[in-house]
Amino acid sequence: MTSKSGAKSVAAVAADANVILSAVTGGAALRVFTRGKLKIHTTESTLAEVEEYLPAMAARARLPVEALESQLRMLRLRVWGALSYRRVLPEALRRIGRRDPDDADLLALSIKLRIPVWSNDRDFQDARVRLFTTARLLKVLNPCRRGPRHCPAGPAKRKPPTGWTPAARKFSRVMRVRRARTHPAMAGAAPEAT
C-alpha cells in the first residue's frame, strides 16, 4: 500500500534491541509504540539483549531497574522463539553473519514474516532487507506532523458549525476571500496581478 506522498505504508516491523531500549527509557522510539495499528515483532534473543542492558540504562537514567522492566512489559511486542524462523536462519547468517552474527535472529524473523527491520544500527544496511530508522518510521506513520499545510492530502477545509445563521456563513466566506487576497500563500491561490 502506498500513501499519497508516495511512501509505502508499514503494517509491521521487526524491532532491534536499540529501538526497544530507546522506547523503554522514554526516547523517540516510544512514539512508534504508541501509534495506532503498527504491529511490532521481535525475537527472544533480542529481548534477552534488552534485558541484559536494562541495569546499565537504569543507572545512566538514575531510575530503578524495576521501572524500566515495567515499561518493557507494557510495550506492545510480539516475541518469537527461534523455532519459528529456524528454516531461514542460514539465509540470514549469509546476509549479515560477517557484519554482526548476533543480529541474524532478527533478520531471519524479518525474512520469515516478510516485514522490514526497525533499527538505528547500520549492520542491516547491506542485508538486503527493507530498513527503517526511528526517524524515518515516524515520518511514514505521521506524514502530517508539521501541521495540516504540510500534509500530502493538503490543508483541511474548515466547515462552519451547523448552528450558524446564513449571515454568519456569509461573513465567514467573505473573510476567507479577503484572507486569500491578502495572503495568497495561505490560501494556495496565485497572487492577483495589479
Angle of helix 89-96 versus helix 104-113 axis, rounded to 10: 120
Among candidate residues 119, 39, 117, the one with its CA nearest the CA of residue 79: 39
CA gap 20, 14 in Å, rounded = 11
Instruction: Give mean pLDDT, residues 176-184.
Output: 65
Residue 188 confidence (pLDDT) = 47
* Mean pLDDT across the chain: 76
If you average pLDDT over residues 31-50, what whole number do you get?
A: 87
Whether residue 96 has pLDDT greater than 90 = no
Q: Which of 80-84, 86-90, 104-108, 151-155 has the lowest mean pLDDT?
A: 151-155
Report residue 177's pLDDT band, with 50, 70 and 90 as the boundaries: confident
- What pLDDT is stored for residue 149 in this prediction? 54
